[in-house]
Amino acid sequence: MRDLHTRFARTFAAWPDKVFIEDGARHWTYGEIEEQSARLATRLAELGVAPGERVLVQTGKSVETLLLYFAVVRLGAVYLPLNVDYTEAELAYFVSDATPVLAVCRPESLDLFARIGGEGVAIRTLDQLFADLPEAAAAPVPREPDDIAAILYTSGTTGKPKGAMLTNANLVSNGESLVDLWRFTEDDRLIHALPIFHVHGLFVAMHCVLFSGASLVFLPRFDAETVLAHMPEATVLMGVPTFYIRLLGEPGLTREAASNMRLFVSGSAPLSADIHRAFEQRTGHRVLERYGMTETGMITSNPYEGERRAGFVGPPLPGVEVRIAESGTGKVLPQGEVGIVEVRGPNVFAGYWRMPEKTASEFRSDGYFITGDMGFIDVDGSIQLVGREKDLIISGGLNVYPAEVEALLDDRADVAEAAVIGVPHPDFGEAVVAVVQPAGAFDAEAVRADLRRDLAAFKVPKTILTLDELPRNTMGKIQKKLLRERFAGLFSEG
């Protein structure tokens, strides 16, 4: 398959009259989606959108935004979705760095984009783009597999955000692998409650449906009661751990309610073992956890058939190579040893936009991408992640992997969720600190006493702090950086 649009077109041609998207207001068939996006592509071409040009998009979740994505792909241009929560300073950086020919925004952001847009950038809302669409359908522009189809910005711990360039081949290969691995067919109906400015919602969920000829229920946001109401007529839910935690809070989540579902997928953040067990006990379904990132799409997945082990993210996808290496030296480590996860395959991105030095530093000479995640490979080839390299705590010269401590805390009945961080300490360099969201009555010193039975003394948190709610980003990941900043002075003298 040469390019992403050609792969889309195959499904459009096979099921023109089949319902593709249900958004509450109406049903959209595959034929209608193709026809509308082709006419929209004509409008985009009039605005200067051409192969390789960037289209920056900061809009709410809607079918119109999806049509815009399909239209950009049809023209061979580069789709650049942005989180609606970005500030003016962040948006100004993205516009200056990506140099788009078109920025599509919400009506309330028109003045903002007028300030930061600069010369040569057309600024439109979705309503403006769709008003009186041309009748003519723009011809699709053939693209090569290595041509860039999308740029997604990803923030690092330091420096400016990096624009990960995803190729046509990256997106097609990853989508095809997941359809096969997760057994998607035209009979599936997916509940889509994820944002669509991110790999998970736009490329994983959407492409699995589109590549297989399935259909989806397109929800504006996650609401546990609404998702539960759709389960009897649906077959698949893709979500983040927060989805499953909130679903477990619904009394109506039962085996009967989930009896028509065949697959629950979780990603973007680790799913704790107790949530795995609780969800299986309530529904009879064991959540399938997988592992991926912006730069690679999906890397590994627990099996569709076979054991789905809590805490493990499964073996690599077909055609994807994964190894564990020593940080710094790149020395490949033997099975069972903890190191940096490195990946090579058709899913791995082409590099960072306008950052050749950063790109070079993130790849080994043999083509392996250095993910920054730490983990090990088990005897059965399955990977367990133990945290980000930047989250590694070195206390008194000894390594502490937060995931090990978090697993014990998350397994407790008095802990809803936990995050373990390193905080500057005058004696140890870093001190292990746990920040927990309690589940009812909570005695921090009693918990520390329990942890001493299961952990070496240097791994036991020096203190356990409580918060009503742990800070999260829009994909449900706990923001440890914010916790480290908040508690940086915890052990300061004076």
What are the domain boundaries of the chain?
Answer: 4-143, 177-388, 392-486
Q: Is the pLDDT of residue 280 over 80?
A: yes
Which helix (H) or strand (E) is 236 found in, with range? strand 236-239
What pLDDT does residue 156 have?
54
The whole-angstrom separation of Cα 269 and Cα 391 is 14
What pLDDT does residue 386 have?
84
Other beta carbons within 10 angstroms of residue 304's beta carbon come to: 13
Bridge partners (DSSP) of residue 420 are 434
Span of 143-147, 327-331, 356-360, 387-391 with lowest mean pLDDT: 387-391
The whole-angstrom separation of Cα 268 and Cα 152 is 15
What pLDDT does residue 331 have?
94
What pLDDT does residue 110 have?
96
Collapsing DSSP states into helix, strand and coil, what is residue 205? helix
When pLDDT is averaged across residues 384-410 and rounded to a whole number, the result is 83
Choose which CATH entry (3.20.20.70, 3.30.70.20, 1.10.132.20, 3.30.300.30) describes domain 392-486. 3.30.300.30
Interacting residues of 289 by C-beta distance below 8 A, sequence separation 6+: 265, 266, 267, 270, 271, 276, 302, 308, 310, 312, 313, 314
The whole-angstrom separation of Cα 69 and Cα 80 is 9
CA angle 414, 418, 423 (to 5 degrees): 130
Cβ–Cβ under 8 Å, residues 218 and 248: no
What pLDDT does residue 244 have?
93
Cβ–Cβ under 8 Å, residues 409 and 436: yes
Collapsing DSSP states into helix, strand and coil, what is residue 457? helix
The whole-angstrom separation of Cα 446 and Cα 412 is 12
Span of 58-67, 236-245, 269-278 with lowest mean pLDDT: 269-278
* Residue 445 backbone zone (phi > 0: left; psi -120 to 50: alpha; other: beta): alpha
What fold is seen in the domain 177-388? Rossmann fold (3.40.50)
What pLDDT does residue 492 have?
79
Fold identical between 4-143 and 177-388? yes
pLDDT 10s digits, 161-207: 899 999 999 999 999 999 999 999 999 999 999 999 999 999 999 99
Highest mean pLDDT among 203-217, 380-394, 470-484: 203-217
- Give me the phi and psi of 223, to 5 degrees please: -140, 120
Query: What crossing angle do the helices spanning 402-410 and 273-283 adopt, rounded to 10°?
Result: 40
Choice between 10 and 309, residue whose per-residue pLDDT is larger? 10
pLDDT 10s digits, 419-478: 999 998 877 878 999 999 999 899 999 999 999 888 878 889 999 999 999 998 877 778
The whole-angstrom separation of Cα 487 and Cα 470 is 13
pLDDT 10s digits, 347-359: 999 999 999 999 9
Q: What is the pTM of this model?
A: 0.88
What pLDDT does residue 1 have?
58
Q: Which of 283, 306, 404 is nearest to 275 (CA)?
A: 283
Cβ–Cβ under 8 Å, residues 401 and 338: yes
The whole-angstrom separation of Cα 72 and Cα 162 is 21
What pLDDT does residue 494 have?
46
* Residue 50 backbone zone (phi > 0: left; psi -120 to 50: alpha; other: beta): beta
What fold is seen in the domain 4-143? Rossmann fold (3.40.50)
When pLDDT is averaged across residues 9-15 and rounded to a whole number, the result is 97
